[in-house]
Structures are given as structure tokens and as C-alpha cells.
A and B are shown apart, each in its own frame.
Chain A
Amino acid sequence: MTVAEIVDHLAAWTPYLLTGFGWNIAVSLVAMAIGTVTGLLLALMRDSRVRGVNGGGGALTVVMHGAPTFVMLFYLTYMVPEHIELWGLNVHVPVWLKASLAFGIAVTGFVSDNALVSIRHLAGGRILEALLFLPSWTSYFLIIVMASSTASVIGVPELVYRARTVIGAVDRPDFAIWVYLYAMVWFLAFSIVLTAAMHLLRGRLTRRARTTRDRDEAGLGGIP
């Protein structure tokens, strides 16, 4: 394949692939929304003075940390039926929602830990320190966007899934690597833009907070 051919093919398929990337972001945002709500609940439980509630919140957080998202994708796909009866209504559970739920479990664990720190800062009146939750949350969102590529294995039509479809449609053996590299570029560009924005935000917050204490982002590397 010549360079011109590769560029032509990639250009022609770009709208299709970008729609897929939209799915990555959508699935990740829904996962963040679900995980933030449940994670906040767990953090509030852990902040409670009641021993049982406190311990329950801690134990649930440990479980959320232990569950591998890649395995949870399969777990939820097989275990959650496609249609659920809810209050007499037949609710359809689409496969992308199962993916969001799987990633949401990891988000829950993350938010539970980080929100707890912020809750304690808030209680101490350190509002800006508490706000450092936001850049951490954004870092985690990026991690979930990276992880969302694995939703392709259960058939969510996101970027990697579509890349495979394109490879099948073009049907040239040496084309595969270019499609995958092109898909990588989109992830990379998205990460760079969001990371830059986040650094800006973090810089402002820490300067204003006049504290060198940054949030510990231990273990934030890699797909959870």
C-alpha cells in the first residue's frame, strides 16, 4: 500500500471512526457519573461515626478496588439479562450500559478514596484543597477513556471495534497496523489536550491554596 492510499482510506473512514470515539467518551462519562454518585455514597459511609456503616463503606471500597474491569465486562454481559422487569416495565439494558457499569465499579473505588479526602478538607474549611478533587477526577476520567477501548470485546461500537470493522472492509493485510496507529493518535490527542487543561487547573488551585501538599495519586497508573 502506498502512503497516498493509506491516507485516502483513513480520511474516508474518519467520520465513522470518530463516531466510535464519541462512544468511548460517552461510555466513560456515564461510567464516571455512575461511579461518582456511588463513590460519594461510600465516602460518606466511611466518614460516618457509626462503626457498622463506616466499616461497610470501607469493605465495599476494597471490593470495588479488587474487581478487574476487563473481567467485569464479561461478568455483567453474561449475568445481566438484556431485558429487566422493573416496576412492571420491560427495561432494555444495552451493551454499552453494561460497559459503563463495569468501568463505573473502578470509578466508585477511586471516588470513594478521593472524595473522603475532600470531605475531610471541607470539614476543616479548606475549600481549595477540597477542590483538588477535580483534577484528580479528570485524570481518572482519562484512565477510563483508555479502558473504554476494551468495551470492544463485548461489542460496543467504539473506536477500536470500528477500527476492526474498517480493517475487515478494506481487507488489505498491511492496512491493519495503520488503522490501529491512527486510532491511537486520537486517544493520544485527547489525552494531551485534557492533561494540559488539567495541569492548568491543578496549578491554579495549588497556588491559591498555598500549600505544597498535593494529592497522592498513587496507583493511578494503568487500566484498573
Chain B
Amino acid sequence: MGVANSIPRVALALAALAASLCPAAPATADDLDRIVERGRLVVGVKEDYAPFGFRDSEGALVGYDVDVARAFAETAGVTVELVPVTSANRLQKLQRGEIDVVVATMGDTRSRRELVHMIEPHYYGDGANVLMASGSGVSDWSDLRGQTLCTLQGALWGRLAEERLLIDTVALNTTRETALALRAGHCVGWLYDEVNLLNELASGDWDGYEVSLPTRFILPWAVAIRKEEAGGRLDRLLGDLLAQWHRDGFLQDLERRWDLPPSPYLKRARERWVERDGTEQYVCRRDDAGRWPLSCREASLVTSEGLTDLSGMALLLLETTGLDVSVLYDPTDRSVFLAGLGLTAALSVVTVVLSIVLGILFGWLMHRRVFAVAPLLRVACAGLRMTPPLLQLYVVFFGLGGVVVALGFTLDAFTIAAIVLSLYAAASNAVAFHHASDVAAGGSGVLRFTPGDIRKALALCFAAVMGNCVNIVKATGMASTLALPELVYASTSIVAEKGNDDIMMNLLLLAYFALVILTVRAFRLLERRVAAP
């Protein structure tokens, strides 16, 4: 272990230690006093979880977690005593005082936080991913909805995928069986810990397979101490060390040392912890009360303690009732949801305006029976009305999209959705406007393309046009199938991470009701204008 060469780290830790041992220290002895007094840090680690905590050929405990434990002790100037623990007994051993610290592949969860204190920042993190055949056309988790994935029995991911991502799973007994089931085509992919899948891929047995989805269900791993030590000097010391190790890349060095594939979690954590503000200070630094800023913590694990604003209230609601209004306390969820709302609103406005303008134009051309154009439009309108808009989206996105790319343009999902949906609604508007024009013009007369004449016809078909437009606003969610991060897409991805489907689905529905009401309001205002002489 190359701790000896990390002098700055030692210096920092000793400084922290010295600071914490200064005369102002509390009179009662805490865990740090006891550790320093006995000259030994007792750490619980795994002995059966390579490469994090396992026994080498000589029977010694080694691994990523073990190196973290050793670095804690070394920088604190004490020796380390490693105690093998299991997932079942690590928390109890800590609570009983048999060990001082747990570094044992432990995922940080709200329920575990009731028993022990989790040090922030976290020292590792892993999530779920899918191993599947290359070129399967799956580029997003939502593409897997309704498909079947193989999982290992007892793994957390299976249940999460079913409940939050609406993916079917078949659970197999062993890793080997899972691999065989995937090769035999019993499922489209293997859902498992990302680290393990990347290891499989690196083994060379999986030619033609890939792990390419964005990591889901990221669970950060935490170092834990006794709950009574929360906010104490040991908490602060370990937290400062971990922050430092994110900044100087020590944790990523360890990752390389143990041949772990580069973890997206560590990469992101490092970016977060090295970021500096305008005064060249770290953005993630402790406040006067010793707390890290909210934006530097894992939002899904933050507790309401010490928070008095809206996010504190939302967290209190979560802790007391289980209702998870994550858009109120998690900045990521909030921005995802608001961006979705903005996109949906923008798509609605563009689509409604375009569908009315095109509807009037097409309807008038049909009314005037313009040579060749009118019959063509009539067929086109019928065709648009008699095929599902979802298929129209797919045809343009997957089919014409390629043609357009070949010509040198690119059309993004928003543009495609706006064009397809507004043409779809315009077809119905055109038919309504056509009939209204015929009626408004009387027996054999014709309407001119002037504001006055258009208004006359529009007044007659106003209800129909409004109905069509309200329906197209309600249908904007279809753009989510093109992976456009509008409201439906945003809501389902928040559900996927937080599992708060009850809150998010109601919020989604409410947002759409509000949109529909606003649309109707806007049309009522417009109606007065149109009806006015």
C-alpha cells in the first residue's frame, strides 16, 4: 500500500487531528480519544467480497476497503486491527463497540441510517446496468419496458426494475445460470451490479455484448461509525479525509490498484469535490456548523435534521409519512421535473399554433378546390387521421430521420415531435375549417383568404378546433417515446431513481390537468376575439 508516499495527506490528517485535540475539546472522552489512547483503530471489513475485502493467498485481509481502513489508521498515527464482518453482523458489532469503524461494502440507505452514522462523503458507489447483445437497438432504460431481463435471485435490482421501470425479470439461482439464460435468449439482457458486469465483459467471454446504458439505482457505499459519534471529532476527521481522497484521486488510485473498472460514481464524486467557487475555495466545504453543503451530499439520503426550508419540510414529510416529494428537496429531481414541464409547455404552444395555422391554410385550399392541391390535401388529411400518431412519430424519427441526416441536416426529437404532432392535429383542424368555410360561404360562394373571411369560418368551427388542440396538448407525452425529456419522461425517470411513483404520477397528472385548463382558458380568450365583429 503506497500510503508512505502520500505525505500531504498525512500532514492534513495530522493537522486535523491536532485541531481536534486542542484544549477546546469536550471534557467527555469520545471514540477518537479511546482510539488514540489505545493506539489502535479497529475496523470491520469483509473477508469474502473481492476485490473490496477478501483474503490473499497468505490468508491476510486485503482489498479496496482494507486499503481505505489502513489509510485511516496510518494518517491518524495509530495501528489498524482488522475484524472480519458480514453483512448480517457489521452493524451490531459497531453498535456494541466491538469495532470503531465499518468499511465493508455497505450501501448507504435511510433504514441503516437509523442504526449507525454514515460518514459523508461516501467512499465508493455502484449501481445497476445491463449486459446485452450489441446492436440490440436499446439505448435507454425506457426501451426495455415490457421486455424481460435476467437477474440473480435476491439481488435488489430485480424488484426495482419491475416496480420502477416496468421491466419484467426472471430470477436465476447462480451467476452461471444467469449467463446461460442470457445466451440462450431467455431474456434480452442481464441486470446486475455494474462493477460485476464490467468485470464479466473484461473476461473476454462476451464477444458481441456490451454494457452501455446509463447507470441506474446508484447506491453510494459509506464508512460507518456509531450513531452517538455523529457530528463528533471522529466523524469530522473521517469525513475530511474522504473529501481529501476524492480531491487528490487517492480513491481512484485504489480502484486502479484493485483492477476495478472505472466507476462512474467515483468520477462524478471527484468532479464534485474538486470544484472551486469564485474565491478559489472548494464549493464543497464545511459550513460553520461543520455540515457539507446540501448540493455536495447524496440528495436521496439527506435527512431533515437541521434543515428549516422547503426541502427540510419535504424531508420531514418523507421521514414521518413516507411520502417522497423529491422534487422539493432534491435539486436534480427538481431541475429534471421543471425542465420537463418547460419542454411540454413549449411543445404544446408550438404544436397548437402550428396546427391552427396549417389547419386554416389546408382547410382554405380544400375549400377553394385548388387544382391538384385540394385532392392531395384531402387524401393526406385522411391518411394522417387514420393512422396512429405514435407510428407517424416513429416513421419520421427512425425512417425519414436517416434521410434527413444524409442530406446534411439533423432534426432533434423536439422538432420531429412538433412537426408530426402539429401536422396530425392540423389534419383534423383542416377538415373542420374546410366544412366551416363551405357553410360560411353559403351555397356557391367562396371565402377569400382575408382576416375577415377566415374569422367568419373559424367562428363556426371554433369548438372543433379547440377540441383538436386540447387533444394534441394531451398527446404531447408521446414525444417521450423519442427520448425527449418532457414531463412524462422526466416523471418516469424520477420514479426510476426514487421509487416515489405515488407522488410523481399524481404530480404528472396534476401538471397535465393544469395544462389542459390553461389551454381551454386561452381558447376562451381567443374565442371572444374571433366572435367579435
Contacts and interface: CB of A to CB of B under 8 A. Distances in A.
Contact of B398 (A69, A155, A176): A176
A156 B424 CA distance: 24
A180 B399 contact: yes
Contacts of B174: none
Nearest to B395: A180
Contacts of A180: 391, 394-395, 398-399
Interface stretch (A41-49, A72-80, A129-137): A72-80
Contact of B463 (A70, A146, A218): A218
Interface stretch (B235-243, B381-389, B447-455): B381-389
Interface in B461-477: 461, 463-464, 466-468, 470-472, 474-475, 477
A223 interface: yes
Contact of B474 (A68, A146, A148, A195): A68
Interface stretch (B282-290, B368-376, B425-433): B425-433
A168 B399 contact: no
Contacts of B146: 95, 152, 154-157, 161
Interface string B295-329: 00000000000000000000000000000000000
Contacts of A142: 386
A220 interface: yes
B260 interface: no
Contacts of B463: 216, 218-219
Contact of A66 (B168, B387, B424, B517): B517
A15 interface: no
Given A75-B509, A219-B464, A168 B137 contact: yes
A148 B387 CA distance: 11
Interface in A83-101: 95
A187 B432 CA distance: 22
Contacts of B135: 171
Interface string A157-173: 10011000001100101
A199 B32 CA distance: 86
A222 B472 contact: yes
Given A74-B505, A149-B388, A150-B390, A221 B467 contact: yes
B467 A154 contact: no
B92 to A, nearest CB: 35
B211 interface: no
A221 B386 contact: no
Contacts of B488: 70-71, 74
B391 A160 contact: yes
A35 interface: no
A115 interface: no
Contacts of B461: 218
A195 B391 CA distance: 20
A116 B463 CA distance: 18
B4 to A, nearest CB: 54
B386 A191 contact: yes
A75 B402 CA distance: 33
B394 A222 contact: no
Interface size bracket, B side: 35 or more
Classify the interface of chain B: helix, strand, loop or mixed.
helix
Given A154-B166, A168-B137, A221-B425, A187 B387 contact: yes
B95 interface: no
A181 interface: yes
A221 B387 contact: no
A129 B425 CA distance: 29
B481 interface: yes
A6 interface: no
Interface string A172-189: 011011001101100110
Given A71-B477, A146-B389, A221 B432 contact: yes
B131 interface: no
A188 B386 contact: yes
A197 interface: no
B516 interface: yes
B505 A221 contact: no
A146 B395 contact: no
B508 A184 contact: no
Interface in B119-158: 135-137, 142, 145-147
A67 interface: yes
Contacts of B508: 71, 74-75
Q: Which 6 A-B pairs have the closest CB atoms?
A: A219-B467, A155-B146, A221-B428, A177-B399, A68-B474, A191-B386
Interface of B: 135-137, 142, 145-147, 166, 168, 383, 385-392, 394-395, 398-400, 402, 424-425, 427-429, 431-432, 461, 463-464, 466-468, 470-472, 474-475, 477-478, 480-481, 488, 491-492, 495, 501-502, 505, 508-509, 512-513, 516-517
Given A148-B388, A218-B461, 10 more contacts: A68-B477, A68-B516, A71-B474, A153-B480, A153-B481, A181-B395, A217-B464, A221-B425, A221-B467, A223-B388
